[in-house]
Amino acid sequence: MSTLKEIEAYIHKGQKIMAIKLYRNLTGSGLRESKAAVEEFMSRGHWGDQVKGVQLATEVTSSAPNTTSTNIINLGPVISHIEQRKKIWAIKELRSLTGLGLKQAKEAVEAYIDHQRWPPSVARLLVVPELRDAEELAGHGKKLQAIKAVRSVVSVSLKQTKEAVEHFMEHGYWPHPIRALVRDKTASPTPTNQPPPAPAAAACQPSSQTARSPKPTPSTPRLRLDPEAAAVKGVLEAIIEPKTVDAIYSVKRDFTAGYIALVGNRAYFLTQRFGSWEIDGEYAKSDGIEAEVNTSFSRVELRLRHGFLPYSFTELDEATARKIAQVLSD
């Protein structure tokens, strides 16, 4: 385990990147926080207030008994106590979950109350090594690439992944459901005794028999899209890889212009924000979505309803609207 003195030595040598890396390993902070802390030391010659006591906190947490895997610590109850202004209960809950001392737990809760972020003494317990690549991408503001990196590690819906990345970018740590899923995946034993593969069908045929050539499979027709629709399709496929977009249509959802894309039995709504295309909705029957088409008053409207929350899509022809509704009903 590195110490602040070792990090300072790398800073004095001009090895800023190594100093940031060691700081992250020591504190469990995200890339953005670690970079800010190292740069503050470089400009002032001493560590900021948020770093004071980090070495002591590290020693306490590393020696404290904790039978719970760090990847599955759920701070939800602590945050719930904070939101209910039950500070003492929050401190008590945090100590029982992390093994922190009274002083460190009190300072951590107060830091969260003041800044809505956990200090390094707690953040280091929430580190998920498998998501380091996603953390670095999120730290550089590359949200779409971070979403893709998370989905390469654990299988979750696009909506859950997007919410997890946004949570990390705002709070500096991964939410509990994502950490639990990563833990479960890495803890699952890989089967070692695999049954032998079945013999190939050709091996069972007489040698004199000429093997039949396989029937040609029809190729997937390429979508003919205008440049903007093609750009939107590329953004979506970069996230949902290896899946591809089956169809994409220009629409308006409640007066917001965008595109609706069909991928298997799911639909995604994408809209442009600050000059870039982002996913603003994901719809599927398995998520409780009900689809219907309304053609009253010479106006075609695709309605997607989730409970009591309706979404209205317009500027579609009737055939396209019914096609989308059929996809979301299968």
Predicted TM-score of the model (pTM): 0.42
**pLDDT for residue 215:** 52
**pLDDT for residue 78:** 86
Residue 129 has pLDDT above 60, yes or no: yes
Residue 10 pLDDT class (50, 70, 90 cuts): confident
Strand partners, 289: 306
Task: Report CA torsion sign: 138, 76, 279, 154.
Answer: positive
> Strands 276-284 and 289-294: what pairing?
unpaired
Residue 258 pLDDT class (50, 70, 90 cuts): very high
Dump pLDDT digits (tens) for 169-192: 877 777 777 777 777 776 655 454
What average pLDDT does the chain have? Answer: 76
**pLDDT for residue 194:** 52
**pLDDT for residue 29:** 66
Residue 324 has pLDDT above 90, yes or no: yes
CA distances from residue 165 to 168, 200, 294 in whole angstroms, order as listed: 5, 45, 36
Look at residues 311, 305, 260 and name the one whose alpha carbon lies nearest to residue 287.
305
Residue 199 has pLDDT above 60, yes or no: no
Number of Cα atoms under 13 Å in the Cβ half of residue 147: 20
Residue 208 has pLDDT above 50, yes or no: no
Residue 91 has pLDDT above 70, yes or no: yes
- The pair of structure tokens assigned to 236 is 């979506």
Residues 6+ apart with CB under 8 A from 211: 202, 205
Residue 226 pLDDT class (50, 70, 90 cuts): confident
Q: What is the phi-psi region of residue 246: left when phi exceeds 0, alpha when psi lies from -120 to 50, beta otherwise? A: alpha
φ/ψ (deg, to 5) at 124: -65, -25
Amino acid of residue 59:
E
By mean pLDDT, which of 91-100, 149-158, 197-206 is the weakest? 197-206
Residue 251 pLDDT class (50, 70, 90 cuts): very high
227-327 CATH fold: PH-domain like (2.30.29)
Q: What number of other Cβ atoms are within 10 A of residue 133's Cβ?
A: 15
**pLDDT for residue 46:** 76
Residue 259 pLDDT class (50, 70, 90 cuts): very high
Average pLDDT estimate for 30-41? 78
Dump pLDDT digits (tens) for 130-161: 888 888 888 788 888 889 888 888 887 888 88
Percent of the chain with pLDDT over 90: 7
By mean pLDDT, which of 166-170, 223-227, 279-283, 313-317 is the weakest? 223-227
Look at residues 172, 185, 313, 158 and name the one whose alpha carbon lies nearest to residue 251.
313
**pLDDT for residue 262:** 92
Task: Report CA torsion sign: 303, 304, 309, 311.
Answer: negative
Distance from C-alpha of 324 to C-alpha of 236, rounded to nearest angstrom: 17
- The pair of structure tokens assigned to 326 is 């059929």
Percent of the chain with pLDDT over 70: 77
Provide the terminal-to-terminal Cα distance of the chain, rounded to the nearest Å.
Answer: 54
**pLDDT for residue 249:** 93
What is the crossing angle of helices 176-187 and 143-153, to 10°?
40
Can you tell me whether residue 322 is helix, strand or coil?
A: helix
**pLDDT for residue 235:** 80
> Strands 301-306 and 256-263: what pairing?
unpaired
